[in-house]
Structure 1
């Protein structure tokens, strides 16, 4: 007579450990994160170096208000675009990669609770990308301000607005990674997902005009434009229209970040749970 032994229920901590193992076992993850970090820091440092070289030739007005330039050098728009594409691509690969290799079938067979599984994946990616963003943004700030210190124009992290620049730049990483995961869960095709990531996160902010009220609302509700507002310390007192009759500034930028992260995480979990393999 054969006795069937019931397997113990999978603990959520086990799912977290498994997803962490999957993520760190991919060699491509290290290459992408490393190359992305070097590119971001190099772009920012080069901007600071250019301002260091040109500082004596700037007019009195610019030199007087140079602190805003120093904070722009801490994380430039080119660096933000690079961070955006790198992290969103890695987020997408965590989903699309399993579907393309067929590993997702084995995963679902081992863990039938898809929502718990995808929640664990979302949490692991969010945690890793938050740490990654903090390290890259912090290193960029330290490097750029060290360069500008040669002209006596570097600012400390305690300077008004400096911490906001670093925090917004750091959080751009997990937000975009979650958006990449959501698009990967919906599309499940590598090339199409990457094209849509580029369009939604990079091209769409440049295509949408702010001439009309409704297009300005749409433009301001995109992650990249929210980041632009957050890191522009001179913009703090101007209206930032998130929705009609809701003028706000910094608060709107943080809410945009939070909304994209929450909605993207929910889409990832629900899309995988509701669709067949």
Structure 2
């Protein structure tokens, strides 16, 4: 009797599809409780600061009307106030930019510091696909958060100021300001992810993100030299300030100011560059 030996055949594991990578990155992002608390605290703080700004300005406007014998904000010599500015207080939104950028950086450097990135790339050798899925998840979460905070800030502040020039979403520049503020968070998060891939260190990544998003633009606001101002116009926070301006207000002209179109271009270029840097840094550098 002869025995036939059949070769042992191993069944190849099915290749992970992009939706599987997205699901895995979603679980990773929300596996840390700090993600919930940081994003929730940042959102509530920004809305609270904006609402407080509207309340303070309401008190000032009311006082000015009393001094002016009941004249309205736009009548006679009464006070004129830009209600849009209360919904988008600069320091508050810069703080939220740093929060979003830090969460984005954490999503990348956290895996490197814990060593989980080795397991991830062993299971899925396509590093670019992994980073693309991570960027998609973080961007989607930040876009939703940005839309909620932006809409809530605008709605609350304009409701407070409804009798003193409060705006509706249909007023000139209002929808643009809300949309730009919503997009500011995923933009900041992607920048943080690129920084996290380059630095791969907790403190270094967060500090570099802070410098890139907030501190560097502050040093590029002077109009003494045109090249300094033009360079400052390429920064996300400067473009955001252009997009949230109220076109109905007659502000003094700013030297070398960027246009709305240029600001939108900045909003489009930064995420693309950030994703390209993220993918390139992960593919070319060793673990």
Same fold (TM over 0.5): yes
**Which residue matches 2:244?**
231
The reply on whether 1:219 has 2:225 as its aligned counterpart is no
* 1:2-21 matches, cutoff 5 A: 2-21=8-27
**Which residue matches 2:53?**
47
SS at match of 1:44: helix
**Which residue matches 1:261?**
271
- Higher mean alpha-carbon deviation, 54-63 vs 227-236, is at 54-63
SS at match of 1:64: coil
Shift in Å, 1:58: 3.8
The reply on whether 1:202 has 2:208 as its aligned counterpart is no
**Which residue matches 1:244?**
none
In 2: Cα distance, 1:138 partner to 1:56 partner: 25
How big is each residue's C-alpha offset from its partner over 1:124-176, in whole Å with a ceiling of 9 and x where there is no partner?
11111111100110111111111112x34321111111111111111110110
Shift in Å, 1:257: 1.1
Q: CA RMSD in A?
A: 2.2
- Structure with higher helix content: 1
Equivalent residue for 1:85, pick from 85, 90, 98: 98
Shift in Å, 1:197: 1.1
* 1:17-166 matches, cutoff 5 A: 17-58=23-64, 63-64=73-74, 69-149=82-162, 151-166=163-178
Shift in Å, 1:194: 1.0
Relative to 1, partners in 2 of residues 1:147 and 1:236: Cα closer, same or farther, differing over 3 Å? closer
Query: Quick check: which has more Rg, 1 or 2?
Result: 2
Contact 1:129 1:174 in 2 (8 A): yes
**Which residue matches 1:175?**
187
How big is each residue's C-alpha offset from its partner over 1:190-247, in whole Å with a ceiling of 9 and x where there is no partner?
1011111111111111112232111111111111111111111248996885xxxxx8
Shift in Å, 1:13: 1.1
Could you list the runs of 5+ residues in structure 1 that have no partner in the other structure? 242-246
Relative to 1, partners in 2 of residues 1:110 and 1:230: Cα closer, same or farther, differing over 3 Å? same
TM-score (norm 1): 0.91
Equivalences, count: 271
Shift in Å, 1:56: 2.5
SS at match of 2:11: coil
Contact 1:240 1:248 in 2 (8 A): no
Could you list the runs of 5+ residues in structure 2 that have no partner in the other structure? 1-6
In 2: Cα distance, 1:173 partner to 1:68 partner: 27
